[in-house]
Amino acid sequence: MPPQPISLLVLGLCLGQEILTQDGPLPAPSITAELGSMTSGGRAVTIMCQAQGSIERFRLEKCSAGRCSAIIDYTTTSFSENEARFYLTLTNAGQYSCMYQNSSMWSSRSEILELAVTASRPQDYTVENLIRMGLAGLVLAALGILLLQTQCGQRRTQEAARP
């Protein structure tokens, strides 16, 4: 049986470089969000990209309307690393994917990770604030009583010291 040709695809990215991907030896990595795929606006989320084997570089991409653009590249510090963690503060929902490079070849893209941003509900601290204000009032009243007792005690001492 003759060897199967490896098909290559050239992709143009916003970073101004071309990436070769292949449909073969480099399988797609897995992508997960550490806190799950739902986050409240402005909250940090960690996206993990994992692959098997010796990896030189990971790339996180944000996808929209069927196109993916690189947003973060992570170069591994040793060939034993097989995962990358990308720390993002999300303000908009979005679709993310990742890929990795080994030698000069890029893997296929991971599955799309859909991150949904939920509106954070303002919390009502009225009861807690009323309790704090009440405690502050009690502390002030106790200090006032101590101050009055001290003044009364000093007057008695002064009156007893007069001949």
pLDDT digits (tens, 9 = 90+) for 71-99: 999 998 876 789 999 988 766 678 999 99
Distance CA 83, CA 49 (A): 5
**Structural element, H or E, at residue 142:** helix 126-161
Fill in the amino acid letter for 87.
Y
Tell me, rounded to whole angstroms, the distance of Cα 157 from its chain centroid: 66
Going residue by residue through the chain (163 aa), what tens digit of pLDDT does each one get? 333 333 323 333 344 444 554 455 689 999 998 876 656 666 778 899 999 887 899 999 999 988 999 999 999 887 678 999 998 876 667 899 999 998 888 999 999 999 887 776 667 788 888 899 999 999 999 999 999 998 888 877 777 777 6
Would you say the pTM of this structure is higher than 0.75? no
